[in-house]
Amino acid sequence: MMNGQGRVSPGSAAPTEERGCSWLNIWVFLICALAIKAAIGTLCLWLVVPFCHSSDQPSALQQQFSEWECDSAVPQGTDRGWMCCPKGWRRFQGSCYFLSTDMMSWDESARNCTGMGSQLVVITSKAEQEFLSEQIRQSKEPKRDNSYIGLFAEQEGQWQWVDKTPYNMTAAFWPKGEPSEGYDENCVIIYRDTELPNNWNSVRCLNYHRICEAAAVTV
């Protein structure tokens, strides 16, 4: 109620203009908060995609790399829309591959892959075999050629994969005359210049390039 001098009596409602101003301030605050949240979400998506889902335990691969490359290749019907590999790695289907430019022995290569949260590649299909062979052949890096895979023999002729995947001779990619016998050749490379897809060669476990593999991160 207004008194005779135009002041508001205690307990009376504030003028309409003042209430409108208060609501305007609230809306401005909410819009700003939403804009900031959206900006943070976008930053999370593009800079550190694999770590945005805090409910997931980071994989060994995630713990080793901070730069990632992602694309929207996750199958429809899943609740995630991106598949990611460390920057510089190659993706094929659900795996990420690192093709080295330096050379190491087989044991050193296996340890190097493990140290990056991956393993020497285990090839389980013709499509994967052809993809990796083409990646080696098409590489612009002249030093990248014959590369170790994760197949080895502790004793001659007893081939096994590093992750204990059963070795199947009928699903292997040996050319005629391979694997060699009697030459202490207990490690396997993809040989760059052999006709596809049968381009595995057994070799002595000396220094070669390597291919590491890890599961792609989906977010």
For the residues of 149-160, what is the DSSP string, one character each?
EEEEESSTT-EE
At 15-32, the pLDDT tens digits run: 444 444 455 555 555 565
d(CA 188, CA 160): 11
Residue 148 CA, chain-centre distance (Å), reads: 20
Average pLDDT over residues 56-79: 76
**Share above pLDDT 70 across residues of the chain, in percent, rounded to a whole number:** 67
* Residue 156: pLDDT band with limits 50, 70, 90: confident
Statement: residue 58 has pLDDT above 90: no
Query: Is the model's pLDDT at 47 over the cut of 80?
Result: no
The whole-model pTM stands at 0.72
Quickly state the pLDDT bin for 169 (edges 50, 70, 90).
confident
The whole-number pLDDT of residue 214 equals: 96
- Amino acid, res. 37: K
Whole-number average pLDDT of the chain: 79
For residue 11, give the amino acid letter: G
pLDDT of residue 82: 86
CA 166 to CA 101: how far, in whole Å? Answer: 29
Sequence-ordered list of residues with C-beta below 8 angstroms from that of 143, at least 6 positions apart, any chain: 101, 209
- Element housing 34 (H / E): helix 16-47
